[in-house]
Amino acid sequence: MRPLGVTVLSFILLAIGSLSLITGVALISTKEESYPIFAEEYEKLLNQSFSNISITGEDLKTVYEMASYMAALYGIVYLLAGFGLFTLKEWGRILTVLIAGFNVVYSIFLVFIQPLIAVEIAINILVIWYLMKPEIREKFSRKITIEERILGDQNP
């Protein structure tokens, strides 16, 4: 039987992955309409953050395309992790731990810009801790016997 925490975590990963994939595909497919808005907003951001940096139109297009494809790739990875967790596959657990670990490392750099990122760091560390607990790890590596398949899990 799948633990409730694993089920909740898998649905969260599936939701984030779906939204990210949809966003990436939408940005890729509506480049003509959305690129001018992106370019305007990105230039505003650069001017507010770094007053004397100028960026060329070609560089902006590269940033836009990279962001679009990365959003889609990010979505696919999260969907795979969510599916792997939901089906209790060991690779899904490992992929989720890797994602959470990457998010911790990335967030450490951002915590100096936005201190509330510390909450995200704590959540990701909690996810890693939960998925590394022996009783949770066992659910991913346990082999199901033919009796359990026919009769169901007799151990509550």
pLDDT digits (tens, 9 = 90+) for 14-67: 999 999 999 999 999 998 898 888 888 888 877 777 766 777 778 888 888 999
In a domain, 77, yes or no: yes
Number of domains in the chain: 1
Enter the pTM of the model: 0.81
Task: For residue 102, give its domain range.
Answer: 4-149
Burial tier of 89 (Cβ tally within 10 Å: 0-12, 13-18, 19+):
middle
Residue 58 domain-assigned (yes or no): yes
Contact of 79 with 21, CB cutoff 8 Å? yes
155 belongs to a structural domain? no
Is residue 156, in this structure, part of any structural domain at all? Answer: no
154 found inside a domain? no
* Alpha carbons 147 and 122: distance in angstroms, whole number: 41
